[in-house]
Structure 1
């Protein structure tokens, strides 16, 4: 029986549209250019930072993050960045007595912004808080520490096979792959994902029905 559900952040709970648009504006290229490059590198198995390096090969992304913050153009996260099923699904799980955690890759600032949204969750942490990022197995060791449940009683929900489903499965957790965002849609029908995921879902509202499993 599932006692704890842990959620990835980007393209599981939040849309990445604003993030890529902000980077395009900062790099002074059309927003469609960055969006198209993200799609291209996803199809090749890369990630969004690879797309930024295609636009600006010499850019140090960490330094660029700091420069954006200093210019008042740093990270932002608001209610409109949440997928519409997030609050209803998290609220329903909380009412069922499930421990609900948000734990994904992101800066410590991203964690602060998520906490400011006052979502119905027990804990919000990011890789920036922990100093270790997915898919490092140590990230999922930390997940299990805060889950307060055994691996088979803990469900990790995410869109990215290589960052979410596969490493969580290797750590012994149960997994749900959501068909959402570029990674979620692209890999949804891949046999390896179907084999690794305990469940494949199209909406977070499907989760409460799984709690007896």
Structure 2
């Protein structure tokens, strides 16, 4: 376990494996650093892979609203590694990664962003997140995550219902429901940042899945239009969880991009 102190004094925890040029991974919502363990196994022979446990999803912390603290954590980890890193951000972790690229571009050689759900015009969650928060406050966590999966993630209704039943039945996932809704609220509070992202000066690869909800592809397209020189790769037969379902393919994309940047 790698232990780093962030700018506000909070201890950042991460798993560091392998040797070589550093890759820092920020996981998606409703998850922790273990979600990228299988991808890491395909990279650690040539890279030092650091999988951060985001403070939003640490039950030993009460993280502040917004994304600023997690952005600072990402920068602190990068600086602690002693050289610019390749940042990999998945879903909401990708939104954190975008902000980190703006705050401290010198800390990074570039970034791979896997379907970050950035706000494009209308809020990401909006009224749906408000309804989900209300369901959670009334003691209905299954209903809360069902609303989130159906109306924010935009899974098909039956799949959203089945997934919500599973999440609510498992304590390890159920306890993360409030954190996921807070994560969504933080992205909405950040707002539409496309004009800011025109200032990103590091190479960016936008990764998507051909089977992901359509709105995620549209958000990637919006980013591709504003981030200078952004590249795009699609895993056509994968969705939002290719890190779990096709880890070798995700690792190959990351490694190929890293090889071009670490020269």
Shared fold, TM over 0.5? no
Relative contact order, higher structure (CA 8 A, sep 6+): 1
Relative to its length, the structure with more strand (as a share) is 2
TM-score for both structures, normalised by structure 1: 0.43
TM-score for both structures, normalised by structure 2: 0.36
